[in-house]
Structure 1
């Protein structure tokens, strides 16, 4: 078994298996219309299942951090159970044509699996890759981003043929797909659960014996600053990404599917590139300044060329790719930044609290751009608002998130990190 006790088998592979499974939540747009058609409800009503899933993801991560700190094997198994039961339950309630059942299974049960599963491998990765925390978390979180690219062709195959109106030839495929996927992801997540293991030199017992103050973290200026800039980055990303198809159709660009795949690749690539790039900086927060400034530059360049109305397609595609990359990079760069500021001992708990920003951004990002479009009928105005928000995030990164490490009474954290690194 000694040959298997290395960072690739015990950290990277299980993290990818777990994240490539739960990341399929981003495939929602592929089948939401089919669900609405089958159960006879408007898409707008069905859409709330996805919003609920993202909200529960963030909140379950916020409240599940303590569980993850205590026992990653229990948390990884619970993540697999909740996610798979939620997915299979979604298929059952689609068959029953129960919208409330879909909300509960996809939004709440699966959402809990998402939150705990997202959080579980992160600290283990940083323990195995003590000197390359950004690369480690980037590799895992990239799995979450790549899941859509990997799973989309499989889902399309399982859904089967469509008629000229885009309606499934065999409507029953929409719920049988969930049963098949539940089986596949059960195998993947259980294997990830069995392989996941912290380095032999790291002991958790002494961590649990020390008290952790939620109040001290939640009222800390550095944490508040990180939470706000993380929230803004997700809100801006979702505000633009949610309008991706509409923007491309507005400028008359036909290859929307190709651009969707390209932006998904940038989303996943940004998760590895930005977080591993941050490993080279003395202050890891510098990567957020770069993400925000690149996004502002891309937005400004597009606006200078008369916004969405007259800008050439290559500028719009570049903008979508840059914002997608920064969106992904913001996720993967978060755990190492929190580790630098607060230490590794309670990083799963603090990371979970920070992910509550994802929960609220999931409820506000799409709605922000939809509200602006309803009031102004202008995609360019959406760009102006997003640019203003990115500017605020830049100021927060510069003036609020200082490079000093915050003391939470974890004096042994650095020693344990060195032991874990070997």
Structure 2
């Protein structure tokens, strides 16, 4: 059985099975209108189920890090149960035409499964890939990004034909789809749960991890800086990504589906490229500088050359691709950066706390661009605001998140022990 005791079977494969399942939360846009039509509620009200799911994802990760740190098998099983129950429950409450039930099942129950499942494979991957932590987390988080590309055709098939107005011919397919998906993801996540295993020489939870201090992390300047960078990157990414179809329609570009697939590939590719690139750098924080500066550059070029016009279609598509790549890369580069700054011993807990930024950005990102458009009626204004936020993030990366050579751990050899002491 030794041939099955390797990093690909015990870390990468289960991580992909788990993340490719929970990542389908980003397929929401494919069926939100169908849900609204079936339960006879405004799309705006139904939309809150997705926002709630992302919020609960971040908060359950923030509070579930200690559980993941102690027992990955318990956490991976809980993730599967909550996620699948939430998926099946969503189908049931759609059938019942209960909006509150959808909020609870898709938003809260499934959200808990999302948060715990997102965290669970990360530390195990970094333990197996000790010298290539960025590559390891990039592979897993890429699964989360690719889930939409993989699941979208299946969902479209399950939803079936639509009439000339885009309404499902067989309305019952909307809740039936959730039942079928729940069964598929149950199998995938349980297999991932059974395969996931830390290296044989792993010593288990350290004394430092058991005496972890939330207060000291949350008040630490480096952690606050990383949290703010991560929050801004997600907010800017969502602000632009949420308007992707609208921007392309505004400039009169017809192949929206093709561009959507292209940006999804860049999103997933950025998760692998940026985080694995960080393995080669002296300081992983440099990756965030690259992400922010490249985003600022392409936005500035778009504004200076001609703004949001049809003649700039290629540049605008490049803008969407680069921001998507940086958005994905920000997620995959986070765990290795936190590991470098706060040690691998407590990475699940610290990573979970940092993901609370995702919870808040999930509420603010889409709303930011919608608010700007409502007030200005122009996409150029959205670009100006996003560019300004990326500039702030760059300054935080330079001035607050210091390089390894001046990190807390290197300043004081006993820092790790002092840091986690209550």
- The TM-score range, normalised by the shorter chain, is over 0.9
Deviations 1:4-60 (A, max 9, x none): 110000000000000000000000000000000000000000000000000000000
1:106 deviates by 0.0
Does structure 2 retain, via aligned residues, the 8 Å contact 1:305–1:311? no
CA offsets, 1:161-198, max 9 Å, x none?
00000000000000000000000000000000000000
Contact 2:253 2:310 survives alignment (8 Å): no
When structure 1 is superposed on structure 2, of 159-168 and 210-219 the one drifting more is 210-219
SS at match of 1:86: helix
**Distance in 2 separating the partners of 1:23 and 1:355:** 15
Correspondence 1:348-367 to 2 at 5 A = 348-367=348-367
Superposed displacement of residue 409, structure 1? 5.2
Distance 1:310 1:385 in 2: 22
Q: Is the 8 A contact 2:68 2:120 kept in 1?
A: yes
Measure the CA separation in 1 of the matches of 2:87 and 2:114.
Answer: 11
Task: Give the superposition deviation at 1:201.
Answer: 1.0
Count matched residues.
413
**1:420 aligned partner:** none
For structure 2, the residue ranges without an aligned partner over 5 or more in a row are none
CA distance in 2, matches of 1:113, 1:215: 26
- 1:308-353 per-residue CA deviation (whole Å, 9 max, x = no partner) reads 1355110010000000000000000000000000000001000000
The two structures, once aligned, show a CA RMSD in angstroms of 1.3
> 1:410 Cα deviation (Å)?
3.6
What is the match of residue 201 of structure 1? 201
Aligned to 1:63: 63
Distance 1:210 1:405, change over 3 A: farther
8 Å contact kept, 1:345–1:410: no
Q: Does 1:89 align with 2:94?
A: no
Q: State the 1:205 CA deviation.
A: 3.6
Distance 1:168 1:181 in 2: 18
CA distance in 2, matches of 1:218, 1:209: 16
What does 1:13-52 correspond to in 2, within 5 Å?
13-52=13-52
Q: Please give the per-residue CA displacement for 1:99-141, whole angstroms capped at 9, x wherever unaligned.
A: 0000000000000000000000000000000000000000000
1:248 aligned residue: 248
In 1: Cα distance, 2:125 partner to 2:310 partner = 46
For the residue of structure 1 that corresponds to 2:117, the secondary structure is helix
Preserved CA contact (<8 Å) 1:70 1:208: no
For 1:346, what is the secondary structure of its paired residue?
helix
Aligned residue number for residue 54 of structure 2? 54
Alpha-carbon distance in structure 2 between the residues aligned to 1:311 and 1:117: 44
Structure 2 distance, partners of 1:380, 1:209, is 47
Structure 1: any 5+ residue segments left out of the alignment? 414-422
* CA distance in structure 2 between the partners assigned to 1:395 and 1:410 by the alignment: 27
* Matched residue, 2:304: 304
**Which residue of the partner structure matches residue 322 of structure 2?**
322
Pair 365,305 (structure 1): closer, same or farther in 2 beyond 3 Å? same
Change (3 A) 1:312 1:209: closer
